[in-house]
């Protein structure tokens, strides 16, 4: 950028010069280049004769064009990088079939902005990479683009079309294209177990952005199980690794996101997610009609966060939209509060193992609560809730297991926890028996909760028993 700006002054005059001068000059350059290319680079296939003609002008550094909106479109193409790229075989015409020597330069395309040009040229990739286009079109990035987001990436934001290197050459971590726009997340990632491993060794099997999020069909991070499944894909022993010390392992792994424990310094919160109980799917905002924000705002007129009553009436309103069987319920998830923290994964020795960090009156993760549904582009739409909703009896009836944990059951667990601690001090009982104690009491507590729930449900015909279902896997 800097060098282009530097050369702008004479670039303008340059365009006015006769094309023949370009041709002569660059033919000389070509000869010079060929004769000085060291033998190691002899493998780089030469440019075709046709491409050399294009490069006669476009190989000139500083060649650029002023757009009406004041932007500058760089017209210089680095010839060597192009020659070494995978696209040398298709030549300039492979993508710029509309620009030929016969019609160009006299043909001047109307280019309104640099960005518009990039977006328009996405279509040129379709002919040969239809599969990637299809994946891309289903991504969060593409929906942002359709919404008019000015920096949502298109193909050429992640791939320099004139210098695409072969897959076999593993690019340095620092050059990952995602960094351009997600710089703070990159910085968090680079300090993580994965980032350190990946930047420390070219042999590392640790993941980089696209290994967890995928490259083309990137989805909103908070939606679905994809990211968790990505972890499980490489860490196949996760269940066993946690079972040895964490009781009710599956419940914990279901209700707590991996980074919530593996990013030790993270701030945590409880997100209460609205679910359609009949389908087991999260409630999502329909395009164009932002119900959630409207309803949440009117329920929370003071703006101090939803209280239990407001939450309950919000649930009722969403339930009314559905058929009788499809009630809206809430499932809690313990997660980190910001995107950077999700990437500060530390070695296992630093992971959160202390039961009391969560199972204690006033435990930090339960002090911040949000209520959310899935927005039109897959990203969550949130509204703050008062932390007291977790302890309110009013809405216990309408929610799943996790929620009740914050209410009645978390108290039972706290008592159990203290008992177990005392037992631990008095009699040196091992981990297993401690876990056993928890399992046994938790089972009892769950049975009790289910019985109460059942009773409440039968008292309220029409409301359906579904609201008291545990947060089973969808």
Residues 278-317 that bind ligand HEC (CB under 6 A): none
Span interacting with ligand HEC, options 36-44, 128-136, 284-292, 388-396, rule CB under 6 A? 128-136
Span interacting with ligand HEC, options 172-180, 275-283, 307-315, 387-395, rule CB under 6 A? 172-180
State both tokens at 169. 């050459």
Interface with ligand HEC, residue 353, by CB under 6 A: yes
Span interacting with ligand HEC, options 116-124, 273-281, 290-298, 312-320, rule CB under 6 A? 116-124
The closest alpha carbon to 121, from 150, 162, 77, 82, belongs to: 162
197 or 322: whose CB is closer to ligand HEC? 197
CB of 362 to ligand HEC, least distance (A): 14
Q: Which residues contact 11 (CB under 8 A, 6 or more apart)?
A: 62, 63, 64
Q: Which residue in 145, 227, 390, 396 binds ligand HEC (CB under 6 A)?
A: 227
217 or 317: whose CB is closer to ligand HEC? 217
Interface with ligand HEC, residue 78, by CB under 6 A: no
Q: Which residue in 72, 113, 199, 248 binds ligand HEC (CB under 6 A)?
A: 248
Span interacting with ligand HEC, options 72-80, 281-289, 300-308, 387-395, rule CB under 6 A? 72-80
Binding characters for ligand HEC, 27-46, by CB under 6 A (x = yes):
--------------------
Span interacting with ligand HEC, options 231-239, 286-294, 307-315, 383-391, rule CB under 6 A? 231-239
51 or 299: whose CB is closer to ligand HEC? 51
Interface with ligand HEC, residue 82, by CB under 6 A: yes
- Specify the residue for token string 């009788």: 324
State both tokens at 12. 């303008």
State both tokens at 388. 């007291």
Query: Taking CA 337 as the corner, what is the angle to CA 331 and CA 342, rounded to the nearest 5 degrees?
Result: 100
216 or 327: whose CB is closer to ligand HEC? 216
Interface with ligand HEC, residue 149, by CB under 6 A: yes
Interface with ligand HEC, residue 4, by CB under 6 A: no
Q: Which residue in 84, 145, 209, 308 binds ligand HEC (CB under 6 A)?
A: 209
Span interacting with ligand HEC, options 56-64, 296-304, 309-317, 384-392, rule CB under 6 A? 56-64
304 or 436: whose CB is closer to ligand HEC? 436
Interface with ligand HEC, residue 25, by CB under 6 A: no
Distances (CA, A) of 300 to 73, 294, 304, 311: 49, 10, 7, 9
């Amino acid at each position: 950028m800097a060098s282009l700006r530097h050369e702008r002054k004479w670039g303008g005059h340059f365009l006015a010069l006769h094309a023949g001068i370009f041709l002569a000059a660059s033919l000389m350059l070509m000869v010079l280049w060929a004769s000085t290319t060291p033998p190691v680079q002899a493998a780089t296939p030469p440019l075709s004769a046709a491409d050399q003609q294009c490069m006669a002008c476009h190989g000139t550094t500083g060649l650029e064009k002023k757009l009406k909106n004041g932007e500058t479109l760089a017209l210089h193409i680095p010839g060597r990088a192009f020659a070494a790229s995978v696209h040398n075989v298709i030549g300039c015409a492979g993508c710029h079939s509309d620009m030929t020597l016969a019609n160009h330069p006299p043909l001047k395309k109307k280019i309104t902005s640099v960005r518009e040009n990039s977006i328009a040229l996405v279509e040129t990739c379709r002919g040969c990479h239809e599969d990637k286009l299809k994946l891309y079109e289903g991504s969060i990035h593409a929906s942002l683009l359709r919404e008019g987001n000015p920096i949502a990436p298109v193909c050429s934001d992640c791939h320099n079309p004139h210098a695409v290197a072969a897959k076999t050459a593993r690019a340095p971590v620092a050059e990952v294209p995602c960094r351009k726009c997600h710089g703070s997340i990159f910085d968090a990632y680079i300090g993580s177990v994965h980032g350190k491993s990946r930047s420390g060794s070219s042999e590392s099997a640790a993941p980089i952005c696209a290994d967890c999020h995928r490259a083309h069909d990137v989805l909103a991070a908070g939606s679905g199980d994809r990211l968790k499944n990505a972890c499980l894909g490489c860490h196949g022993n996760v269940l066993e690794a946690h079972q040895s010390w964490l009781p009710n392992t599956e419940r914990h792994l279901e209700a707590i996101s991996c980074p919530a424990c593996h990013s030790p310094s993270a701030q945590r919160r409880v997100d209460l997610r609205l679910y359609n109980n009949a389908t087991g799917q999260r409630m999502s905002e329909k395009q164009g009609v932002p119900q959630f924000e409207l309803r949440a705002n009117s329920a929370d007129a003071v703006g101090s966060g939803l209280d239990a009553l407001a939450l309950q009436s919000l649930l009722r309103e969403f339930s009314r939209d559905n058929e009788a069987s499809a009630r809206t319920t809430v499932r809690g998830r313990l997660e980190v509060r910001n995107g950077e923290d999700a990437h500060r994964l530390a070695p296992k020795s630093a992971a959160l193992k202390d039961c009391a960090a969560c199972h204690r009156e006033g435990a930090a993760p339960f002090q911040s609560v949000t209520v959310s549904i899935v927005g039109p582009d897959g990203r969550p739409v949130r509204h703050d809730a008062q932390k007291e909703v977790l302890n309110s009896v009013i809405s216990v009836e309408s929610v799943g297991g996790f929620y009740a944990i914050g209410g009645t059951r978390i108290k039972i667990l706290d008592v159990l926890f203290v008992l177990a601690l005392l037992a631990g001090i008095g009699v040196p009982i091992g981990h297993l028996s401690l876990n056993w104690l928890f399992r046994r009491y938790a089972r009892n507590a769950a049975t009790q909760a289910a019985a109460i729930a059942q009773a409440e449900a039968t008292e309220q015909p029409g409301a359906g028993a579904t609201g008291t279902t545990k947060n089973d896997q969808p």
